[in-house]
Amino acid sequence: MKYLRTNQSGFTLLETLIAMAIMIIAFAAILMVESASLNTSSKAKQMHIVSMLIKRAMIETEQSLEGKKFEEMGKEKSENFPEPYNEYKYTRLIKEIKFPNIGGGSASGASGDSQDSSQGSDSSSEQISKLLTGFLSKAIREVTVSVTWKKGEGEQSFSVSTYWVDLNHEFALTE
The answer for residues whose C-beta is within 8 angstroms of residue 80's C-beta and 6 or more apart is 86, 87, 88, 89, 90
Q: Is the pLDDT of residue 36 over 50?
A: yes
**pLDDT tens-place string over residues 25-34:** 999 999 999 9
CB atoms near residue 154 (< 10 Å): 6
**pLDDT tens-place string over residues 11-23:** 899 999 999 999 9
> Taking the domains of the chain in order of start, what are their residue ranges?
13-104+125-165
Question: Looking at residues 119-135, what average pLDDT do you find?
Answer: 74
Q: What value does the CA radius of gyration of the chain take, rounded to a whole number of Å?
A: 35
Nearest to 60 by CA among 34, 84, 92: 92
118: left (phi over 0), alpha (psi -120 to 50) or beta: alpha
1-23 b/e with 16+ CB inside 10 Å = b? Answer: eeeeeeeeeeeeeeeeeeeeeee
Contact 94, 146 (CB under 8 A): no
Task: Give the range among 19-33, 50-64, 87-101, 109-123 with minimum mean pLDDT.
Answer: 109-123
**pLDDT tens-place string over residues 137-157:** 778 888 899 999 998 889 999
Which DSSP letter does residue 101 get? Answer: P
Reported in sequence order, the residue ranges of 24-169 that DSSP labels E, i.e. its strands, are: 76-80, 88-96, 140-151, 154-165
68-92 b/e with 16+ CB inside 10 Å = b? Answer: eebeebeeebeeebeeebeebbbbb
Q: Is the pLDDT of residue 122 over 90?
A: no
